[in-house]
């Protein structure tokens, strides 16, 4: 079974690996149901999906009649205005076949213009606060990608008491001094305020080098179990962190297996050797 940690101040103890349901975006219900069986075997108790994840919410919906109580259920809206975000959430509830989610998140909020719109008058945040007051969502989070997202999340936390943040972090990104400093500053803020921290792209190797893609992830992932172990264990060595699993069902067993065997963080030497042998590189262009 996989270790559980407090998910911020929500009162929920989530497994250290949360199921990243982007993996269900383009699969049929049989494949989705097999994924559910795997989650239950490993004791995974937290699902993270989004309105933008293709058919993901539709694939999760049939699980909820029997398993709603087994999962902390989170989704996301990428719309920046209150009306759009409100409609997005209601559509997600219908697709998920539930009367509320545990958490609604603002999706991919990294661009300053988007931030101003979502956080401003009649912005998405107003709709999410309204949904919480109505019992449609219990908690509110914010997510994002890119080299500037750690600093942007700190700006978001200064504006509103978000319950969770989500952002990329892995060995390669941590070796950029500016990103590492921003990430560690954000992590300290979150720990001080009991904000949950979700990490994505933990097993990212880099952009696809060829057009012959062998997985459904938009980036090229690490594939060998030893490499997946090192990448996952290195991130889980951070206190209080949760990892969102990979957006590819064929790789899901490797991530869950790695998490179930987590004991200690690999050495810097082991991580450096892996990064060099796998030629790990940036997903987001040059850091600025």
pLDDT digits (tens, 9 = 90+) for 262-272: 999 999 999 99
Does position 33 have pLDDT exceeding 90, yes or no?
yes
Give 81-105 pLDDT, tens digit per residue: 999 999 999 999 999 999 999 999 9
Distance between CA atoms of residues 130 and 134, nearest Å: 6
| Predicted pLDDT at 137 | 98
**pLDDT at residue 288, rounded to an integer:** 56
Per-residue confidence at 61, pLDDT binned at 50, 70, 90?
very high
Percentage, residues of the chain above pLDDT 70: 99
Rounded Cα–Cα distance for residues 158 and 248 (Å): 34
Residue range 242-259, pLDDT digits in tens: 999 999 999 999 999 999
- Can you give the pLDDT at residue 202? 98
Specify whether the CB–CB gap between 165 and 110 falls below 8 A.
no
Domains present along the chain, CATH in parentheses: 4-277 (3.20.20.100)
Over residues 45-51, mean pLDDT: 98
Q: How confident is the model at residue 212 (pLDDT cuts 50, 70, 90)?
A: confident
Write the pLDDT tens digit of every residue in 158-169. 999 999 999 999
CA distance readout (Å), 101 to 38, 128, 152:
22, 12, 25
Q: Are 241 and 16 contacting, i.e. CB atoms less than 8 angstroms apart?
A: yes
Is pLDDT of 211 > 80?
no
Average pLDDT of the chain? 96
Cβ atoms of 197 and 162 within 8 Å: the answer is no
Taking only the tens place, the pLDDT of each residue in 142-201 is 999 999 999 999 999 999 999 999 999 999 999 999 999 999 999 999 999 999 999 999
Q: Where are the alpha helices (DSSP H) in the chain?
A: 29-42, 56-67, 82-96, 112-119, 124-133, 149-159, 171-174, 177-193, 225-236, 252-260, 268-277
């Amino acid at each position: 079974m996989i270790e559980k940690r407090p998910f911020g101040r929500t009162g929920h103890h989530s497994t250290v690996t949360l199921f990243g349901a982007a993996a269900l975006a383009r699969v049929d219900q049989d494949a989705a149901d097999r994924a559910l069986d795997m989650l239950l075997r490993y004791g995974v108790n937290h699902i993270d999906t989004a309105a933008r994840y293709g058919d993901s919410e539709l694939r999760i919906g049939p699980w909820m009649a029997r398993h709603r109580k087994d999962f902390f259920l989170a989704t996301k809206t990428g719309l920046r205005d209150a009306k759009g975000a409100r409609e997005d959430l209601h559509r997600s509830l219908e697709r998920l076949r539930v009367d509320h989610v545990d958490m609604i998140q603002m999706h991919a909020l990294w661009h300053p213009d988007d931030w101003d719109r979502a956080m401003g008058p009649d912005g998405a945040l107003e709709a999410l606060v309204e949904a919480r007051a109505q019992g449609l969502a219990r908690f509110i989070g914010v997510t994002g990608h890119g080299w500037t997202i750690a600093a942007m999340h700190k700006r978001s936390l200064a504006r509103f008491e978000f319950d969770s943040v989500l952002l990329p972090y892995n060995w390669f990104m941590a070796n950029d001094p500016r990103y590492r400093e921003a990430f560690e500053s954000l992590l300290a803020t979150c720990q001080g305020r009991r904000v949950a921290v979700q990490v994505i792209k933990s097993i990212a190797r880099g952009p696809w080098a060829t057009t012959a893609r062998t997985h459904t992830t938009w980036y090229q992932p690490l594939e060998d179990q030893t490499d997946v172990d090192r990448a996952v264990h290195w991130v889980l060595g951070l206190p209080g962190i949760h990892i969102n699993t990979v957006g590819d069902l064929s790789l899901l067993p490797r991530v869950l297996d790695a998490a179930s065997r987590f004991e200690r963080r690999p050495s810097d030497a082991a991580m450096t050797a892996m990064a060099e042998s796998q030629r790990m590189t940036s997903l987001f262009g040059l850091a600025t």
